[in-house]
Structure formats: structure tokens, C-alpha cells
Amino acid sequence: MRLSIIIPTLNEAEHIGALLTDLAPLRVAGHAVILVDGGSVDTTRARAASGVDRVLESQRGRAVQMNAGTQIAGGEILWFLHADSRVPPGAAEALLAACRAGGRWGRFDVRLSGRHPLLRLVERGMNARSCLTGLATGDQGIFVTRDAFSYVGGFPEIPLMEDIALSKRLRRLARPACLRLPLLTSSRRWESRGVLRTILLMWRLRLAYALGADPARLARRYDG
């Protein structure tokens, strides 16, 4: 099985190099890394060029960008990673083992980079909720077989909650493989806005989405 690792970016010059360093051994092993940029005005594309197999430019929006990456992906397994994530040794092997065992899709546990005590609660809550509900967030490194991704129609091209929406589609096919090996993701979103404030905001947004709120309106609240 070959992986196509798809990374959507927008002004991620500060973070992309570390992730690509983590992924370099996978390229040597024959897996492909595809970066899909949504119009960065910093040096993201230049910094990434030597560490990826393809750089695409796309309309801005994670769902749109990730779907664009799948169009040129050649691997049997699609793995979607955020640019500010770090991938520990053994993650790809665990992912491939889950798929060889019959898994259709899955996600990793997540660990946040900051030291604030509340972030430990956020991690535990995210990981437990994900396994319980069968839903995953983009921070958890969603992976899916190409056949399953095509069957459900890919990411819904909405401006927020595209990861939850994809998970709901995939959950109808199978429960996710919940891999306990954690990806490290930046806690900058929580720290820049305030940890407690961000926790409450995300709870409100997810509840509103579950009750049928327009993702475009939720995206404006998230960006605000």
C-alpha cells in the first residue's frame, strides 16, 4: 500500500519545514507528499518545494484544497495532515497496519504543543470524544482508503467543519480506527485567543453545526 499525504496550506512558512522533515523518510520509502496551497503570501511554497513531490495552487479553503490534492494522488491510502502538525516515528506504519487489517478510515490521538494545564483536558476530551462518536477532526490526521473517500464523495466543500462532515459520511461505512499514537499539533489557536475562551467557542460552534447552522456563518464566527 502506498500513501498519498495531502497537506493544505495558507501562510504556513513558519511551520511547514518541521512537518516535511518528519515526512522525509516516507518519501524515501516511496510514499508521496502533496502540498496544496490556498494563496499564501509568505514563503510557504518556496520553503516546501524541496520537501514535497507536488505543489498545487488552489482556491482557498481546506476542503477545496484537500479535494484538489486527491485528484492527482496516486496512493491507495489518503492521509490528510495540517501544516502545523508533527508526525512521530511509527505513525505511518501504524496507519498502514490498520488499513491492511481491513480498516476503511481512521485517525490518531492528538497532543497539543502548549503547557497550559487546560490543554491536557482538551487533548483527553478530543481523543475520548472522537472514539466514542466515531468523528474526527483535521488535527487528528484523518486517513482513508481511496475507495472509501471516493464512495462518500470526498470532503464537502464547506468553509468550516469539513472534517466532521467527512467523518459523518465515512462513519456510515465503518467505525474509524482510533490509533493511540499521538500526533503533535500546535496549540497556537488556543493560546492566541485564550484557552478557555477557545474551548467554549469550539463547543458552541460544534453544537450549532450539529443543530443545522450554516457552516459559512460559523466560519465567520470562528475567524472573528
Q: Is the pLDDT of residue 177 over 90?
A: yes
- Report the number of distinct structural domains present in the chain: 1
**DSSP-based three-state secondary structure for 191:** helix
**DSSP-based three-state secondary structure for 156:** coil
Q: Is the pLDDT of residue 191 over 90?
A: no
Evaluate whether residue 193 is within a structural domain: no
pLDDT tens sequence across 7-47: 999 999 999 999 999 999 999 999 999 999 999 999 999 99
**Range of 142's domain?**
3-188
Of 93, 4, 2, 1, the C-alpha closest to 53 is 4
Burial label for 157, CB within 10 Å (0-12, 13-18, 19+), is middle
Return the CATH number at 121: 3.90.550.10
The predicted model scores a pTM of 0.94
Looking at residue 193, its pLDDT comes to 78
Evaluate whether residue 216 is within a structural domain: no
| Average pLDDT, integer, range 69-80 | 97
Evaluate whether residue 214 is within a structural domain: no
Q: How confident is the model at residue 157 (pLDDT cuts 50, 70, 90)?
A: very high
Structure-block grid coordinates of residue 81: 495532515
Evaluate whether residue 217 is within a structural domain: no
pLDDT tens sequence across 120-138: 999 999 999 999 999 999 9
Evaluate whether residue 25 is within a structural domain: yes
Q: Is the pLDDT of residue 73 over 90?
A: yes
Q: How confident is the model at residue 224 (pLDDT cuts 50, 70, 90)?
A: low
Evaluate whether residue 94 is within a structural domain: yes
Q: Is the pLDDT of residue 149 over 80?
A: yes
Q: What are the residues whose beta carbons fall under 8 Å from the beta carbon of 3, sequence distance 6 or more?
A: 26, 31, 32, 75, 77, 78, 79, 92, 95, 96, 143
106 pairs with which residues across the strands?
Answer: 143, 177
Of 48, 105, 36, 101, the C-alpha closest to 73 is 36
Evaluate whether residue 210 is within a structural domain: no
Of 38-47, 83-92, 208-217, least confident by mean pLDDT is 208-217
Evaluate whether residue 64 is within a structural domain: yes
pLDDT tens sequence across 61-72: 999 999 999 999
